[in-house]
């Protein structure tokens, strides 16, 4: 039940260790998903660029700060995105039972898409917004406006406020710089080198 959406974040630290965090939201799709993804990526990029912040040693805390920001940045659209598993051992077990990213995603409770993010050891960020419209069997890369149009026509977009349109345009520009094809994540996500 619900409009289920996941955020998957892979991170390679300066020691070459790879870890994976999976977040879930039971009621996230359409415009709210777009806003959440933009706010999360905006916060994450800000944290990565902040030289005063102890990013690597407090990685989990920083990641949760970005999630919290995206959950509550727009008060009339509060979101409840949280860890998919409370225990990291469950993530390790899931990855062990999955041979690749597709099988991992198949095992998650999702019917409305994914935001997949990779942060490398130099704090560079890449992401893919992957559609999964209403239980579609096909996963494909979409830009923010394409994801939006899975749920709303351009005519319906006129009902959204100007702030949303500005955010969508900013997200599109951000995507042009940092978005990569979903298929590349199988090679950059080092699932066989997962930190346990």
Does pTM top 0.85 for this prediction?
yes
Q: What is the pLDDT of residues 148-157, one digit of tens each?
A: 998 899 899 8
Q: In this structure, what are the phi and psi dihedrals at residue 176, rounded to the nearest 5 degrees?
A: -60, -25
The pLDDT of residue 20? 93
**How far, in Å, CA of 7 to CA of 15, rounded?**
24
And the tokens for 91?
Answer: 């993530």
Q: How buried is 45 (Cβ within 10 angstroms: 0-12 exposed, 13-18 middle, 19+ buried)?
A: middle
Taking a C-beta distance cutoff of 8 angstroms, is the pair 118, 188 a contact? yes
Cβ-based neighbour number of residue 76 at 10 Å? 4
Half-sphere exposure of 17 (CA within 13 A, CB side): 7
Sheet containing strand 5-12, edge to edge, reads: 82-83, 18-25, 5-12, 114-119, 125-131, 140-141
How confident is the model over 106-118, as a mean pLDDT? 90
Q: What is the pLDDT of residues 35-61, one digit of tens each?
A: 999 999 999 999 988 877 777 778 888
The pLDDT of residue 2? 66
């Amino acid at each position: 039940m619900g409009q289920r959406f996941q955020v998957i974040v892979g991170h390679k630290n300066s020691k070459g260790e790879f870890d994976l965090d999976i977040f879930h939201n039971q009621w996230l799709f359409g415009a709210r998903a777009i806003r959440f993804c933009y706010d999360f990526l905006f916060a994450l990029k800000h944290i990565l660029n902040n030289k005063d912040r102890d990013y690597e040693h407090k990685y989990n805390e920083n990641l949760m700060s970005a999630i919290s920001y995206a959950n509550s940045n727009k008060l009339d659209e509060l979101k409840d995105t949280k860890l998919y598993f409370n225990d990291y051992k469950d993530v390790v077990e899931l990855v062990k039972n999955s041979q690749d990213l597709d099988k991992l995603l198949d095992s998650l409770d999702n019917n409305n898409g994914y935001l997949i993010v990779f942060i490398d050891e130099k704090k560079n960020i890449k992401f893919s917004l992957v559609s999964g419209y209403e239980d579609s069997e096909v996963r494909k890369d979409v830009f923010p406006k394409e994801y939006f149009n899975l749920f709303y026509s351009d005519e319906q977009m006129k009902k959204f406020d100007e702030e949303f349109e500005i955010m969508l345009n900013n997200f599109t520009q951000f995507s042009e710089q940092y978005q990569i094809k979903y298929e590349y994540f199988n090679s950059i996500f080092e699932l066989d080198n997962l930190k346990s």
